Every structure is written in C-alpha cells, then in structure tokens.
Amino acid sequence: MDAKGFEDILLEFFLVIERIKPLSRAIRDIHILRGAVCRSSIFNSPGIYPHSIRKNLEKTRKARQDRKMREETSELSRSCPIAAAVVDAAPFSFTTTTTVISEPSLDAPLKIASSPPQPNDYFYFAYGSNLSHSQMCQRCVFNPAISAKPLAIARLDRWKWFICEAGYANVLPPDSLSNPSLEADDEVVYGVLYKMTPEDEDLLDRYEGVDRSAPPTPPDGPVGRHMRPREQGKGSYNKWYVPATVVKWLDESVNLEWDEAQELTVLVYVNEYKVKEGPPKQEYIRRMNRGIREAEALGFPADANWVERVIRRFIPNGPDAGLES
C-alpha cells in the first residue's frame, strides 16, 4: 500500500470515529492516532505531512456541515417560511464549534411584539400653529391617531397671548403663579388640548427647540419645580406644567375618563427670553391661519370675540395673508 492509500484509509477511520463516539472521546482518539502516525516512517516520504490530513478532515467536515445546514434550512422553510427568510438573509459562519437552529413549536402561543402605545397622564395645551391638528399629524409621526387628536378646548386664566420678537406665538404667565388671585389682570389664553405619547412629545420638543440638557430649576426659584422642572437653557422654549380650565370636551369618552374634571394639568411651551411683542414671520402667518380655521371648526374659542381681539392684532386674516408678493 502506498502513502496516498494509507492516508485515505486513515482519513476514513477518523470520520468513522467522529460519527460513532462522543465528540470529546473522538478528539482524544484523533490526537492519539495522529501522534502514532507522525512517528511512522511512512511520513518520511516527500510531500506527505500530518497537516495534510487535518486539512482534508476540516474540508470534509465543513462540506458535511454545509449540507446539513441546507437540509435543516429547507425543513425550516416548510414549517416556518418567515423564520427561514431570516435564516437565509443571515450570513453563516463556521468559526464557532456548534450551530443550533431551533424548530418552531406548534404548541407555543403567538407573542405580540409590543404593547399598544399609551399617552401621557397630562394634556398638551396648543395655542399657536399647533392649533392645527393637520400640522400635529405631520409632526407626531409615531402615533398621530393618538397624539394629534383634539380632545378639548381649554383656557389659561390670567395668561397673555402675543407674537414675540422672534416672530412666533408665545404666552406669558401671571407675575405670581404662586398666588394668581392677587393679580388684577383679566387676560386669558384659549387653546386646544391633545394627549401625546412620550415618543411624539419628544418629537414636539425638537420642533419647539427645547434644551434637554438645561439644568434643573433651583429649589428656591420663584416658580416651583412641579410647574417648571428645568431652566430654558439654550432652547427656544421651555416646558411648563400648569392648571388649565376645560370649556368644551370634544371627546366624551375622555370626559368620562376624567370624571368630568374641569381643571387639568397641561403642558405649555413658554419662551421665557422673548417677552416683547413683535411682527410674525411670513410663513408663520399662513400656518397660524390654518390653525385658526381648523380650531374654529371644532368650536374654538369659547369667547367668540377672542380671536379678533387678541390673535388678529398680530395675524392678518384672508386667503392670501402671509403670502409673499
């Protein structure tokens, strides 16, 4: 028998050992036999080395693993096409020692990927261009059916609505939120209430330019942390949580859910830096008029003269208002 024939027989012997013995014993026997062969004079022949057997053994093992993987994937595709598509899309790697594919269980119940989105516990008070639920749908893209649905018309008593020097709508609170009854001002701001999901509120924070890295409000500040958790920082607006009075529910199911409560805590975006009146930006005039039209169709505001008396001081009316010539 020549050296090549002996090598083929030895290779087959190794493969038989792998099939009939546990992996640990097979590896031990392979090492023992390989050591005996290495000491044999037949390997003194030129061109024949122990590593050639290892290379052929690995090549044969890899070919068998490839064939087994194809067979298991084919079986998986018949029982679960979606799982098979995932397996086909993933590149196989044989650098690991073991590959396991779990067969889907027919008895296992189906699992829902995620729970339905839940809105926040508080409402969002829109007083500017977000009076338009169409704009809210464009901005709250995660759950527009929840976050962009108008739920009520409400008002902020003793607050002031105006266009600030930045060219956008802003509201100012009473001089003393801790005791508003001391104020003689009779200003009021009307708005539309929404109830956003946390994901959509995060998006709206970006639209409003909220500085998420702003420091917390000092504990001895004029306004408590429960109303104003953070400083405005470098942002365009800050988030306030203040009481608002509901004047009209647009969704009776929400009305019943809140036990017909007339005063609720709402989120309001306030620009604390821009407190002087100024002209509106041209593009903002168009968006404000759209918001006014859509809100008025819902019954906004309760005071029929409020829009003319307050908003129309800054926002001209008409189909071409805000269009540049």
Please tell me whether 129 is known to bind a ligand. Answer: yes
CA-to-CA distance for 267 and 127, rounded, in angstroms?
11
Please tell me whether 126 is known to bind a ligand. Answer: yes
CA-to-CA distance for 250 and 253, rounded, in angstroms?
9
Per DSSP, helices labelled H in the chain are 3-20, 23-38, 50-79, 81-89, 133-139, 144-147, 198-208, 252-257, 282-296, 306-309
Tokens 């609505």 correspond to 161
Contacts of 106 (CB under 8 A, 6+ apart): none
CB-based contact 79:104 (threshold 8 Å): yes
Contacts of 99 (CB under 8 A, 6+ apart): 65, 69, 92
Please tell me whether 47 is known to bind a ligand. Answer: no
* Residue 252 burial (CB count, 10 A): 9
CB-based contact 125:204 (threshold 8 Å): no
Please tell me whether 128 is known to bind a ligand. Answer: yes
CA-to-CA distance for 33 and 49, rounded, in angstroms?
14
CA-to-CA distance for 301 and 303, rounded, in angstroms?
5
Residue 252 annotated among the catalytic residues of the structure: no
CA-to-CA distance for 306 and 312, rounded, in angstroms?
9
Helix 3-20 and helix 23-38, axial crossing angle in degrees, nearest 10: 160
Q: Are strands 160-163 and 263-270 parallel, antiparallel or unpaired?
A: unpaired
Residue 115: is it exposed, middle or buried by C-beta count within 10 angstroms (0-12/13-18/19+)? Answer: exposed
Residue 197, Cα to own-chain centre: how many angstroms?
10
Catalytic residue among 7, 183, 199, 208: 208
Active site residues: 208
Binding residues for substrate: 124-129
Binding residues: 124-129
